[in-house]
Structure 1
Amino acid sequence: MLALAIKLVGILGVLSGEAAGESTLVECDSGKIALTSGPFMTTPAANACGAEALGGKSIRSIFEFSVTPPDTIAKMVNTPSCQTWWSELSAPFALFKPCMYLGTTIQDFSEQSFQAFLEANNKEIQRFNSNRPAHTSPVETDDEGGGAASVESTTEVPRETSLAPTSVIETFCQNF
């Protein structure tokens, strides 16, 4: 669930910064966005929105790597459960410290229309190029022998381990 929520914020960086004595807003903390939005992906309104406007798909599907078609946006905007979901999701962002999210301040984001959000989300998805090749340059890491080892990066999905079971992460995110 956390990984999917992080897709929501895809290319967001960290908060703060000053330039020439004036406060400059930079991108919001993607981890904080993910933790805040995660619980709203499984609410009754989210489930109803998916059932009524997305043909039974999860609301999470609008945050994947393909844009939401205009006819689907129109259907979502005109579906009461989707409007309820949007109101629930966007409200907590008004309480964030000022930062930028999807090209606007987080406070403006929390007040924008559902349609404006869906269009901004599509633009963010279009900015991300999922077809670019994986970075394969060597990565230096410390091994137990004290030397450095050259390791090739990969797109391989790591195996699940007992160190951080998904259920613990999901429980943390829901209780955060």
Structure 2
Amino acid sequence: MTAASGYAVCVYCSASTTDPEHVRLAARVGTEIARRGWRLVSGGGHVSMMGAVATAARAGGAHTLGVIPKHLVHQEVADVDSDELVVTDTMRQRKQVMEERADAFLTLPGGIGTLEEFFETWTGGYLGEHGKPVVLLDADGFYGGLLDWIATLRDRGFVTAAALDRVVVAPDLPSAFAALEPAPV
């Protein structure tokens, strides 16, 4: 799929941090998605990093799709400004819609919900459920401890080289967006 026909990037990130540096990072991601003419798929919240990425993407002219389970509509303050807001019954349905509607996945700093989404997407790609790019943005070494642990799992034979090859760890935004680029047709 080309950018002109609606290439969509799903961004996983925090809906709870108030750290201004991380919120600015999310806004830069939204701005870059819009600059490239891509679409944004997000968790449908209007708070923290999740809100910042969607607001910045819309400000740049990107189409935004927010997907939120009904029990989080008030907690994450549903992004009613989304071009399309899908309210699901469960978190599992949320992730399914996000995966179906995205052409690539970018994980920014976040907590256990972000990690759960990242691992499920990475695992799905490794198991052949999808062939979409999976990118982890390790901004300022945020995921250093996790990556060290994964290296230990590899060294102990719990994670294969093929599984590791299924995810791109990017140290900065330019390399993350290079890894997200749609394949030429």
Measured against the shorter chain, the TM-score band is under 0.3
| Alignment TM-score, normalising by the size of structure 2 | 0.23
Greater radius of gyration (CA):
1
Q: Specify which structure has the higher proportion of strand.
A: 2
